[in-house]
Chains A and B, each alone.
Chain A
Amino acid sequence: MRRMKRPPDQEYLAVIGAGVMGTSITAMALGHSVDVVLIDKDASQLDRARRQISQQLRHGRLLSQFPSDLPAGQLETSTEIDMAGTTIAVIESITENGDLKRVLLRQVSDHVRPGTPLISNTSSIPIDELAQGLPRPEDVAGVHFMNPAYLIKMVEVIRGPRTAQTTMERVKSLLKALDRQVIVVNDNPGFVTSRLLHPMLNDAARLAHAGVATVESIDSLMTGCLGHPVGPLRTADLIGLDNLVDSLEALYERTGEEHFRPCDMLLDKVKTGHLGRKTGRGFYEYQGG
């Protein structure tokens, strides 16, 4: 992929990992007039992301999620960790695997100025584990965006035990520019949202598998009786079942709690490649993306 030389004063946000989350985080930032360099090792994934981002920008505009008086930010993509210019922050949204994330963050920290926030969009892995072995663990913080990031305004921000106050302030000022609502929590496997949500999604799949109720009935009960917006199994499809299994495994490993152990139905769906909305089939079937 071509490499453009960015002038040293050009400010941008770097997003690493062009999967479901990296893509929608990028669309959200562009919609708020922030320039983004989106990085992924796979060039075809970047092509796909470009197409999705332009649709997501339209979607966000349709739903009045972006300021109408600002032009969209500029998007650049790269297959290399290219941090020329001024990186205001790095957001990593690669596969939910602690070792991969740690290696990546170590590489990235060699390319950015000290004090540049290194943000992980992990849904489950403790931030302090990701900061382990980095030259500047104080630069690392967690921002757990929800999917789709350009529609859900609230984000869960995680302060690790070693995260510096200046890092927290920089992260908050970035999120303010992106018009996000911030709730700060302390470090812990799964933080608050995944810690509470993921076992429920896992149990919902168990109930469907055991034949207690159909997929549709489970979601209908949770929406109709309990006020959930779409129901647990539709949520699981939206998250991506591969990612859900990775997160559950990360939580199970770190807590030993049985309700985090991914159930057979989830594992089977992942094995057969039915990963939810992104592949057109999970607990439900989807047409037209």
Chain B
Amino acid sequence: MFSENHAQSQELDFLGVTSELLAMLNKRLGTAVEPDQDLFADGLITSLFALELVVQMENTFNVFIEGPDLQIANFRTVNHMAHLIFRLATTS
């Protein structure tokens, strides 16, 4: 699992973040999603689920998403989310 690797190496890799996000969404949505799938357009993420997802991502990757980063455009696809997390985790 990615989280074990993460604990061992203290290093985030982009593919690892992506696969962890895919697993997380798969579990929460009960269906597999693609990294470039528009989750809002497909109705998979509702407005009420969006913040739960943000909080879960913060807890999982130990980042805090705030200010201008806190907008739907950053959560539209798994790729968008992975970019955001990777940026926050590597610049903090």
**Chain A residues in contact with chain B, CB under 8 A?**
55, 58-59, 61-64, 148, 151, 230, 288-289
B29 CB–A CB distance under 8 Å: no
CB distance from A148 to the nearest CB of B (A): 8
* Contact between B52 and A63, CB atoms less than 8 A apart: no
A151 to B75, CA, bound (A): 18
B44 CB–A CB distance under 8 Å: no
B3 CB–A CB distance under 8 Å: no
* 29 pairs, CB–CB < 8 Å, chain A vs chain B: A55-B51, A55-B55, A58-B51, A58-B54, A58-B66, A58-B70, A59-B50, A59-B51, A61-B70, A61-B71, A62-B50, A62-B51, A62-B54, A62-B70, A62-B71, A62-B72, A62-B75, A63-B47, A63-B50, A63-B72, A64-B71, A64-B72, A148-B48, A151-B47, A230-B46, A288-B52, A288-B55, A288-B56, A289-B52
- A-side interface mostly: loop
* Residue of B50, B52, B56, B66 with highest tally of chain A CB at under 10 A: B52
Count the A-B residue pairs with Cβ separation under 8 angstroms: how many? 29
Closest to A60 in B: B51
A interface footprint on B33-59 (CB within 8 Å = 1, 0 otherwise): 000000000000011101110111000
Cβ contacts under 8 Å, A61 to chain B: 70-71
* Residue of B47, B55, B56, B75 with highest tally of chain A CB at under 10 A: B47
Across the A-B interface, the 4 shortest Cβ-Cβ residue pairs: A59-B51, A62-B70, A288-B52, A61-B70
CB distance from B66 to the nearest CB of A (A): 8
- B-side interface mostly: helix
Cβ contacts under 8 Å, A63 to chain B: 47, 50, 72
Closest to B52 in A: A288
CB distance from B52 to the nearest CB of A (A): 5
A59 to B71, CA, bound (A): 9
Cβ contacts under 8 Å, A62 to chain B: 50-51, 54, 70-72, 75
A interface footprint on B53-89 (CB within 8 Å = 1, 0 otherwise): 0111000000000100011100100000000000000
* Residue of B46, B70, B71, B72 with highest tally of chain A CB at under 10 A: B70
A288 to B55, CA, bound (A): 9
Cβ contacts under 8 Å, A148 to chain B: 48
A288 to B28, CA, bound (A): 11
A289 to B52, CA, bound (A): 8
A289 to B72, CA, bound (A): 20
Closest to B28 in A: A287
Cβ contacts under 8 Å, A55 to chain B: 51, 55
A148 to B46, CA, bound (A): 13
Cβ contacts under 8 Å, A58 to chain B: 51, 54, 66, 70
CB distance from B80 to the nearest CB of A (A): 13
CB distance from A183 to the nearest CB of B (A): 22
A246 to B91, CA, bound (A): 51
CB distance from A240 to the nearest CB of B (A): 15
Closest to B55 in A: A288
Closest to B54 in A: A62
Cβ contacts under 8 Å, A289 to chain B: 52
